[in-house]
């Protein structure tokens, strides 16, 4: 036994075929026998968060399911967790790389690729608090993430990480459940030349109440 319990779900995302997801059973699961998570600063309380389906992740997946494909586009998901949005666009043939700082994220991604009969998808251990050794290769046309503004970032590490991996004409999509760190993040993005279009999100596709915003950043002066 791996030391944690899991469950399999069939997730409905409007506009695309349902997707099968293996996730942790609940927030009580924990297993770090080799101390890998502890070495990365991941406590037993935060350990299971990567392996659960969150409302913001469902919102990002729904948006990407409806977003038109763009030829040759390269996509990066940061803080991917179970990588639902990445799985959605990967199934459509998009060049997408998933990344997360959790040592178990790749294990669950591999299993979910198999559950959905999908070919391998690029994944890398990506930690934006370590800009240079992030392990992420090259630059991307679209960088996306859900609920990644969960802590204060006084030094602007996440915007700098995004700038380091974004093409000059890149877009950035963030689903944020109205956390208090959004204004500071947006100011730093604006200072790097990104305009912001905000869309209020009031419900999940299945009608469950949700309070948050879609933050869509594009470079100033670009269409």
CB within 8 A of 100, min separation 6: which ones? 50, 78, 79, 80, 81, 83, 106, 125, 126
In the three-class reduction of DSSP (H, G, I as helix; E, B as strand; rest coil), residue 59 is classed as: helix
pLDDT reported for residue 205: 66
Q: Please compute the mean of the pLDDT values over residues 107-126 and round it to a whole number.
A: 95
Please check whether residue 99 is in contact with residue 144, taking contact to mean a CB–CB distance below 8 angstroms.
no
Q: Is the pLDDT of residue 208 over 80?
A: no
How confident is the model over 73-114, as pLDDT tens digits?
A: 999 999 999 999 999 999 999 999 999 999 999 999 999 999
Q: Please compute the mean of the pLDDT values over residues 218-222 and round it to a whole number.
A: 69
Backbone φ, ψ for residue 30 (5° rounding) = -165, 135
How confident is the model over 156-174, as pLDDT tens digits?
A: 899 999 998 999 999 999 9
Structural domains of the chain sorted by starting position, each given as residue range(s) with its CATH number in brackets: 6-219 (3.40.50.150)
Interstrand relation of 140-146 and 166-176 (parallel, antiparallel or unpaired): parallel
Nearest-angstrom CA–CA distance, 147 and 195: 20
How confident is the model over 1-36, as pLDDT tens digits?
A: 478 999 999 999 989 999 999 999 999 999 999 999
- pTM of the predicted structure, to 2 decimals: 0.93
pLDDT reported for residue 125: 84
pLDDT reported for residue 131: 52
């Amino acid at each position: 036994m791996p030391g944690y319990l899991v469950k399999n779900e069939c997730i409905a995302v409007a506009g695309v075929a349902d997707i099968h997801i293996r996730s942790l059973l609940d927030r009580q699961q924990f297993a770090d026998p080799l101390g890998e998570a502890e070495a990365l600063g991941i406590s037993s309380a935060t350990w299971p968060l990567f392996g659960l389906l969150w409302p913001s992740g469902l919102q990002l997946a729904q948006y990407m399911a409806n977003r038109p494909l763009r030829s040759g586009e390269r996509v990066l998901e940061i803080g991917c967790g179970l990588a639902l949005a990445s799985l959605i666009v990967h199934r459509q043939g998009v060049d997408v790389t998933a990344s997360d700082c959790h040592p178990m994220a790749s294990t669950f991604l591999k299993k979910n690729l198999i559950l959905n009969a999908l070919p391998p998808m690029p994944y890398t251990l990506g930690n934006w608090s370590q800009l240079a050794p992030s392990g992420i290769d090259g630059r991307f046309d679209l960088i996306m993430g859900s609920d990644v503004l969960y802590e204060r970032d006084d030094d602007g590490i996440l915007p700098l990480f995004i700038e380091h991996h974004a093409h000059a004409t890149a877009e950035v999509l963030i689903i944020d459940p109205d956390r208090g760190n959004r204004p500071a993040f947006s100011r730093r993005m604006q200072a790097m030349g990104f305009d912001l279009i905000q869309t209020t999100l009031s419900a999940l596709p299945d009608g469950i109440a949700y309070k948050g915003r879609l933050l869509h950043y594009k470079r100033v002066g670009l269409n």
